[in-house]
Amino acid sequence: MAETNAFALISNCKQLTSYAGLDIQQNQSGSREGKTRISKKGNSFIRYALYMPALCASRFNPSMKSFYRNLSERKPAKKIAVTAVARKLLCLIYVLWKKEEEFNINYEENKNTDRVSPV
């Protein structure tokens, strides 16, 4: 929160991920296409602060765990999946702060049951 001044100048999640340096940077020129990487041009303190929570979330949070497992099966390095989880956590923190809500681990289950009305 201190690094972003409580999201005072941030207007959306894309802007926040760019500020943190967790946005994707394409490496291509003409017909040559290189690897995509995170830009790392943003605030390194945010990236460092999110690394360990991303590891914990990928082990213990069920939705993040499935997201991490899906990415780690497709990508060669597991650190790519950890970085993606960190980006997802950053967006989650931003949305919860802006909506002034608390984290609900059963949100997806509750959202699906709210749509189905009992007869």
User: Residue 75 — pLDDT band, cuts 50, 70, 90?
Assistant: confident
Query: Burial level of 87, CB count in 10 A (0-12/13-18/19+)?
Result: buried
pLDDT in tens, 18-49: 999 998 888 888 888 888 888 888 889 999 99
pLDDT score at 76? 86
- Report the amino acid identity of residue 82: V
What's 31's DSSP letter?
T
Q: What rounded mean pLDDT belongs to the chain? A: 87
